[in-house]
Amino acid sequence: MRAARMYGYKQPLKLEEIPIPDIGPGQVLVRVGAAGMCRTDFQLIDGYFGQDMPLPATPGHEIAGTIDRIGPDVPAAAGLSEGDPVVVFGPRGDGSCRQCHRGNEHICNQGHWIGFGPHGGYQEYVPVDYQQLIKVSGNLSPLSLAPLTDAGLTPYRGLKKLRAAGVLGPGTTLAVMGIGGLGAYGVQYAKLLGAGSTVVALGRNEEKLALAQSNGADHTINIGGKSDDEVRDALEEATGAREFDAVVECAGAEDSIRLAFSLLATEGAVACVGLVGNRVDIPLFPVVSREYTLFGSFWGNYNDLTEVVALAEAGKIKDSVTQVNFADVNDHIDALARGDFVGRAVIVYD
C-alpha cells in the first residue's frame, strides 16, 4: 500500500510502498477512502507537540472508508461487516480513568490517537479497534465524511459547551472567529445550536468570509488591519450590539483570543477550539469583575461524532473540500501551514 510517513521532524514526508498492516483479534482493517488534512498534521511534523514520538509515523486522524477485514474477536453485536462504509473516531482511551468512564476518551491521559503513531490516514489501510468505528449509511462520500471526524467535530463540541453555559439564545450575539477548516463548520453549528443567537463570522480572508456567509452567518466582519475599537464599531453597525455574548474561537492564535475577550460582554463565554498559538494572554481584572468563562474544548467524544454524522446524513451540514492527490501531500502540508485552504483539504487514493 501507499503511505506518506514521517521519518524526522521538520522534514518532508516520505512517500513509499509498505506492506498492508496486520490487525489484532479485536481490530478491523479499514481501507481509507479519504483522509482529511489538518493543520495539526503540519504541527505534528513541525514538533509542536514535542519530539518524542517513535518514528517512522504516519499522520492523518480524519478517516473515512470501508471495512476490508474484521478480526475474529470483534463481537457480532458490533454490527460490522466487510464492505461497510465507516468513519473512524480517532481517540482511544485506556477505558479505566474517570474521563473514559464519562465517555470522554479523547482527553484520557493514558490514551492514544490515530495519526499520532505508526498508522494514520496518510496510508491506504489502517488497523482500528472496532470500538472506534461508526457505521454510516453510504449516502455521503468519504470525501465529505472524513473532515467531520475532526474539523466537523471540534467546533461542535465547543458550541455544545456554550449552549450548556446558557449564553446562547434570542437577543444574544455569537461570534465564530477564524473561518478555516473548523470555522467553516462552526458557523453552521452556531446556527443549528445557537437557539436564535445572531451569528457573526470574523476573519481576515474575504473568500473564507464569503464561505461563512453561504454557510449561514448573519453577518461577517473582516478584522484584517482593524483595531479592537474598529471591530467593535463594525459589529455595532451590523448588529446594534458592541459586544459578543459568546465566542467560539476556531483559530487558537494569541491575538484572536485576546480580541475575543476584548469584545466579550459581561458574563460572556469563550470556547477555544483552535491550536495555532501557544498562549492565552488576557487581562485578569475583567475576567474576574465581569465574570467571564473560558472553555477549553478539545476534539470531541464518540457520542459527539455520532451526532455530527447524523446531522450530515440528514443534509444539515455543508462541506467545502479540496481534493488532494496522494502524490501531492507534501505540497499541501506546506499550504496547511500558510492557511491557504478555504475549507478542508482531503487526500484521496483512487
Q: What is the reported pLDDT for 343? A: 84
Q: Show Cβ contacts of residue 22 under 8 Å, excluding neighbours closer than 6 positions.
A: 127
Q: What is the reported pLDDT for 286? A: 96
> What's at 83, amino acid-wise?
G
d(CA 140, CA 111): 30
CB 83 within 8 A of CB 121: no
Angle CA(42)–CA(31)–CA(332) in degrees, nearest 5?
A: 25
Helix residue ranges per DSSP H, the chain: 39-46, 98-101, 142-145, 154-164, 181-193, 206-214, 228-239, 254-262, 284-289, 302-313, 329-338
Q: What is the reported pLDDT for 135? A: 97
- Residue 152 DSSP symbol: T
Note down pLDDT in tens along the chain; length 350 residues: 999 999 999 999 999 999 999 999 999 999 999 999 999 999 999 999 888 889 999 999 999 999 999 999 999 999 999 999 999 999 999 999 999 999 999 999 999 999 999 899 999 999 999 999 999 998 999 999 999 999 999 999 999 999 999 999 999 999 999 999 999 999 999 999 999 999 999 999 999 999 999 999 999 999 999 999 999 999 999 999 999 999 999 999 999 999 999 999 999 999 999 998 889 999 999 999 999 999 999 999 999 999 999 999 999 999 999 999 999 999 999 888 888 888 899 999 87
What does pTM read for this prediction? Answer: 0.96
Closest to 293 measured CA to CA, from 312, 265, 315, 316? 265
Domains defined along the chain, listed by start: 2-150+300-348 (3.90.180.10), 154-296 (3.40.50.720)
